[in-house]
């Protein structure tokens, strides 16, 4: 095993009660897609369609966490994190999306939670991380209102089983990405290409969030958040056309998903008019008070005026006809995924949130932050995490109330449409043997946690 690489030490001191963790999702690591009564998900079907996944793979086995979770919890314990953010697979718990609850599916999460608690690690389940039951998707998925209601019933079933041991809950993960990539551009499941016709999926996910908060509260939950993806939006130039395009992009990817929750309104009347149902009444549900607000941060977005032609940025294909054009960010290092490494963007984002939302902003938890690099001696990942933790501390020094930080991810895993070509894990997974090997970044983060604990 390689030694922990030398690196600038120590990091700034975080508060003693600061929550340190790592994150994963069910669809990316569990495997066992046909075991113990689990139904098919939209991602199972999407991955089975020719050409959808770049390396032609699927997640039927993934990292086999379903069977190997005791080993993975052992890795968490050795790492020294205080919390583990995982997701519960809706099709494992309610295979048809609504109706009968699959007790055998809940049994798995029962075992996982008990094993985590025995190891001194707080379980932080996310109730939805993109794996919509395919039966629900066949009926329209998040484009129809009933899906939000069925999601709330599923949330209630999970809380009924796990709520006596789970303190912190997350409703949704990144509804913006599911809306954009899944329903708007068709590059993620369910593969629909609706462009602005995808907006109902945004509204119904937010409604599902609010209904799930109500269901969790009714079951006695006292610590609830969401995991929204956010990043600063930079205009490609000072030209008015570029500034207007960047403002619209920021509205659709950031404010559209933050402001209904934090302010109880949509940021633009024209957008609100495109949404279905009684939006004003729905907003009262969507804006249920949260105990904390989760942010997933990876990079800023550079956006300019429409070019009139298709392009590709950071692995995402951008079709022609949109009123803005995301662009590559020059002048910064890049991950193996081609994403710009901009730690100061995290400081900018968090300070901007505090300035924009003021007292309406609850304490923040960074629910995802990480990068894709090859190799077990992954010094680039160490540099990335070091830089972002310093940027996070700078935001806290500037007055932003941040309560926790979760690295994405514990394990290399099935990286959605990229298949197994991207490695975000602190732990390397050999996909032929499923052997786990801690990377240099794992050992570095372990030392960081020991230093933060005063050990």
Euclidean distance between CA atoms 113 and 273, whole angstroms: 43
Instruction: Give the model's pLDDT for residue 321.
Output: 87
Q: Out of 177, 259, 348, 368, which one is annotated catalytic?
A: 368
Neighbours of 339 (CB within 10 A): 20
Domain residues for the domain of 112 are 19-452
In a domain, 52, yes or no: yes
Q: Is 259 a catalytic residue?
A: no
pLDDT of 86 reads 99
pLDDT at 435: 98
Q: Are strands 168-173 and 223-229 parallel, antiparallel or unpaired?
A: parallel
- Assigned domain for 3 exists: no
pLDDT at 8: 61
Write down the catalytic residue from 30, 137, 174, 380: 174
Residue 131 lies in a domain: yes
Query: Is 4 within a domain?
Result: no
Note if 368 is an active site residue: yes
Considering just the CA atoms, what is the radius of gyration of the chain in Å?
A: 21
Q: Domain for residue 265, yes or no?
A: yes
> At 361, which CATH number?
3.20.20.80
The answer as to whether 291 is a domain residue is yes
How many structural domains does the chain have?
A: 1
Residue 6 located in a structural domain:
no
| pLDDT in the model for residue 3 | 46
pLDDT at position 307: 87
C-alpha dist (Å) from residue 292 to 18, 215, 305: 13, 17, 35
pLDDT tens, per residue, the chain with 455 residues: 344 445 667 899 999 999 999 999 999 999 999 999 999 999 999 999 999 999 999 999 999 999 999 999 999 999 999 999 999 999 999 999 999 999 999 999 999 999 999 999 999 999 999 999 999 999 999 999 999 999 999 999 999 999 999 999 999 999 999 999 999 999 999 999 999 999 999 999 999 999 999 999 999 999 999 999 999 999 999 999 999 999 999 999 999 999 999 999 999 999 999 999 999 999 999 999 999 999 999 999 999 999 878 888 888 888 988 999 999 999 999 999 999 999 999 999 999 999 999 999 999 999 999 999 999 999 999 999 999 999 999 999 999 999 999 999 999 999 999 999 999 999 999 999 999 999 999 999 999 999 999 86
- φ/ψ of residue 313, rounded to 5: -135, 120
Residue 314, pLDDT score: 80
Position 352 in a domain: yes
Q: Which is nearest to 117 in space by CA: 65, 82, 154?
A: 82
């Amino acid at each position: 095993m390689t030694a922990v690489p030398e690196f600038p030490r120590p990091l700034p001191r975080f508060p003693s009660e600061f929550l340190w963790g790592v994150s994963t999702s069910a669809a990316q690591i569990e495997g066992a897609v046909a075991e113990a009564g689990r139904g098919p998900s939209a991602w199972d079907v999407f991955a089975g369609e020719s050409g959808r996944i770049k390396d032609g793979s699927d997640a039927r086995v993934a990292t086999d966490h379903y069977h190997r979770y005791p080993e993975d919890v052992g890795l968490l314990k050795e790492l020294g994190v205080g919390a583990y953010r995982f997701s519960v697979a809706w099709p494992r718990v309610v295979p048809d999306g609504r109706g009968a609850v699959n007790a055998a599916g809940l049994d798995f999460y029962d075992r996982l939670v008990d094993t985590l608690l025995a190891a001194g690690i707080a379980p932080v389940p996310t109730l939805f991380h993109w794996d919509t039951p395919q039966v629900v998707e066949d009926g329209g998925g998040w484009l129809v209102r009933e899906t939000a209601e069925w999601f709330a019933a599923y949330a209630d079933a999970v809380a009924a089983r796990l709520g006596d041991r789970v303190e912190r809950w997350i409703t949704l993960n990144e509804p913006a990405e599911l809306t954009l990539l899944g329903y708007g551009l068709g590059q993620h499941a369910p593969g629909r290409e609706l462009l602005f016709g995808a907006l109902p999926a945004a509204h119904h996910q937010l409604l599902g969030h609010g209904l799930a908060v109500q269901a969790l509260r009714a079951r006695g939950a006292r610590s609830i958040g969401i995991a929204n993806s956010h990043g600063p939006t930079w205009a490609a130039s000072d030209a008015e056309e570029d500034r207007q395009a960047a403002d619209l992009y920021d509205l659709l990817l950031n404010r559209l998903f933050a402001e209904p929750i934090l302010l109880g309104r949509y940021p633009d009347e024209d957008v609100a008019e495109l949404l279905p149902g009684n939006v004003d009444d729905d907003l009262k549900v969507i804006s249920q008070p949260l105990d904390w607000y989760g942010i997933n941060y990876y990079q800023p977005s550079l956006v300019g005026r429409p070019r009139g032609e298709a392009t590709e940025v950071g692995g995402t294909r951008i079709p022609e006809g949109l009123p803005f054009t995301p662009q590559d960010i020059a002048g910064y290092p890049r991950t193996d995924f081609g994403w710009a490494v901009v730690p100061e963007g995290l400081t900018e984002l968090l300070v901007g949130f505090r300035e924009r939302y003021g007292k309406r902003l609850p304490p923040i938890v960074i629910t995802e932050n990480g990068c894709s690099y090859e190799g077990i001696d992954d010094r680039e990942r160490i540099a990335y995490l070091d830089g972002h933790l310093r940027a996070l501390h700078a935001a806290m020094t500037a007055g932003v109330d941040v309560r926790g930080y979760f690295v994405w991810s514990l394990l290399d895993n099935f990286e959605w449409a990229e298949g197994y070509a991207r490695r975000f894990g602190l732990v390397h997974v050999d996909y032929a043997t499923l052997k786990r090997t801690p990377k240099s970044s794992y050992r570095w983060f372990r030392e960081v946690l020991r230093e933060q604990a005063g050990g």
